[in-house]
Structure 1
Amino acid sequence: MAVKHLVLFQFKANTGADAVKEATSRMLGLKEGCLNPTSRKQYIKSLTGGKDNSIEGAQRGITHAFVVEFESIEDRNYYVNSDPHHSEFKNYVIPFLENFVIVDYSEGVF
């Protein structure tokens, strides 16, 4: 069953535009860089993202959103727990973040 992995970022106020651009580019680059340890092929089905443009005012500081789609829970679990490329990205980005939210779901499963 496919899994969608929502990632929401709030960057620290003192994070410059170049650092935000680099962090978001690296986030989007995870699709190409995360490889299955056995097949050595990309296992992220899709990865999209962008800067908030909501007019509702309910963002609570969140400025950037990403949707990562995995074919299976096993792929998501590898990504979260073991993928060295993802781990390297987390180590890079966390110092720039004031807050982040991650929510995973499978469509139609409530």
Structure 2
Amino acid sequence: MAIYHIVMFAFKATVSAEDIKTTCDIGLHLGEKCIHPTTKATYVKILGCGKENSIGNRQDGITHCLVAKFENEEDRKYYLESDPAHREFVLSVVNRVEKIQVVDFTPGEF
């Protein structure tokens, strides 16, 4: 069953617009760069990455979001723990953000 992985973050005020764009571009290309270790095929679908634009005024400082989809728990586990492309993305984000939240869910599980 599919798992959705949502990463919400707030960039530090000192991070330039160019660095924010570079970071989001890396996130957008994860779907092409994340290669499964056994099948040698891409295994993560990036549904989007960009600046938040909610009109609900409940962002609590969050400025950007990345949404990914995995087909199963094994793929998500590999992505989070071992995938070199994901590690590159984490390294591009970690020193540029002041806040990060991650939420995963499986549709239909309540």
Where on the TM-score scale, by shorter chain, does this alignment land: which range?
over 0.9
Contact in 2 for aligned 1:7/1:65 (Cα 8 Å): yes
| Equivalent position of 1:87 in the other structure | 87
SS at 1:32's partner residue?
helix
Q: What is aligned with 2:20?
A: 20
Consecutive unaligned residues of structure 2, counting only runs of 5 or more, are none
Match of 2:96 in 1: 96
Name whichever of 16-25 and 55-64 sits farther off.
55-64
Identical amino acids, percent of aligned pairs? 45
- Say what the alpha-carbon RMSD is for the aligned residues: 1.0
- Can you list the C-alpha shifts for 1:22-48, whole angstroms capped at 9, x where unaligned? 000001111100000112110013431
Using the size of structure 2 for normalisation, the TM-score is 0.94
Whether 2:78 is the aligned partner of 1:68: answer no
Gaps of 5+ in 1: none
Instruction: Please name the residue that 2:77 is paired with.
Output: 77
TM-score between both structures, scaled by the size of structure 1: 0.94
Aligned to 1:4: 4
Match of 1:31 in 2: 31
